[in-house]
Amino acid sequence: VVRKLNDARVAAARPQVDVLAGLEKATLDSSTELKSKQIGQVWKLLAHYTSPKESRNIAAGACAYLEETFVEHVDRIVAQYPHDANVGGIPSTNRKIRGYLNVQFGRLGRVPAFLEMFNDEAIWAHMYTLYRCGFKQELLKYALDMEDIITDSDPGFVAHLKGFCDQAAAIRSDIPVTAASLEDPYKAALYKVLGRGNVSKKAAAEVVQTTEDYLWSSLAVVRDAEHIAAATGHPRSTLESLQALMLKYGPAHFDPNGNNPLLYFRVLLLCGLFENAVDFLLQNDRFQIEAVHIAIALAFYGLLNIPSAETMPCSFGSYLVAADNTGGRAMLDFSRMVIHYARALPETATDDAVNYLLLLTLPIQGTCDSGQHSLCQQAIERILYERTDYARYLGDIQSDGTRKRG
């Protein structure tokens, strides 16, 4: 895969090669079934960051991934409990959502009394779940169909939702929010992500229980921050504040026993902390190969913050480098990581080692960073010299004086 990437880079300044798919296949082919499944989710997330629709918008890409995986969860639950779901025939989106909620409430033994119901349907739970799946237009259509019922609970909600979905600039949401008006936690959770009043975390706690739900709720607010700020009059939520909070929590908060490092790794990726994520995974022996290849993919798509050869720090521990003295975005010592990985390859894999070292110029593709080119050249010369196989690569002078090309 790396050789194909380098060949494509030689052929074109902007190589048309599906790096993500190639690196994903390479890492999955060498993994156990469980490990492949876990790493597969990481590659699926990265695909959202590199797609034309969501590229460069971390919150949008992360939300799209979390919505996609939640839809898969809904489908899995409905298929696993067909009798309880009772969707019947060919299930429409609303039937599947209804079936999913039937299973969820069936596990409780009853529909909680505090949910707002109409004809045995938990309307706010239904609308929240539609939005959690990313079905924004389906949510709007459902709300319009149920407008007469919803108006009894919140007369201005449908108009607010329509403006929000249409990205209208003039939504205002000055409605008073009380514990009584938000007794239904699904209503509170939906209000929070749509900027409908000032909702406390506690009001939606019963709905936002998993790490994925929490991150989706937080990232959805960041994704639509401008809109929500206009609606509520409150300051915009920022990705930086969420990133700082996740770093403050640390891995122990999400994985107390340290059995699943990929969980915190994925949290960091979802928040756009790519450098921290790679550095964290590199510290785990089980996932170093995956970490290196994920870093290569991120570097190829320009998503890694990498120091230049001239500012390369000297460090023997973490691959993470502080960007500056003001606490800016961290950098990843990509060059040192690649050199360490290439040098660790067996002597029988010198070709592979050289191809990995050629990636030292990847972060500066299309630029004129002579320092990075020089670093790449020195690293290749050193590994060939140490492995005493340099004649094969650099050429040699034959006994008759003729030159043999490498």
pLDDT confidence of 11, banded at 50, 70, 90?
confident
Closest CA to 297 of 260, 338, 336: 338
**What are the residues whose beta carbons fall under 8 Å from the beta carbon of 4, sequence distance 6 or more?**
17, 22
Alpha helices in 154-224 (DSSP H): 157-165, 185-194, 211-223
Q: Is the pLDDT of residue 308 over 90?
A: no
Q: Is the pLDDT of residue 326 over 50?
A: no
Closest CA to 232 of 217, 221, 243: 221
Q: Is the pLDDT of residue 151 over 80?
A: yes
Q: Which of 6-10, 11-15, 27-31, 44-48: highest mean pLDDT? A: 44-48
**What are the residues whose beta carbons fall under 8 Å from the beta carbon of 358, sequence distance 6 or more?**
6, 376, 380
Query: What's the mean per-residue pLDDT of the chain?
Result: 87
Closest CA to 231 of 191, 259, 200: 191
The structure tokens listed for 76 are 């899995």
pLDDT score of 364? 62
Q: Is the pLDDT of residue 28 over 80?
A: no
pLDDT score of 277? 97
Q: What is the pLDDT of residues 48-95, one digit of tens each?
A: 998 877 666 899 999 999 999 999 999 999 999 999 999 988 889 999
Q: What is the pLDDT of residues 269-305, one digit of tens each?
A: 999 999 999 999 999 999 999 999 999 999 999 899 9
pLDDT score of 234? 73
CA distances from 222 to 109, 237, 406 (A): 36, 5, 54
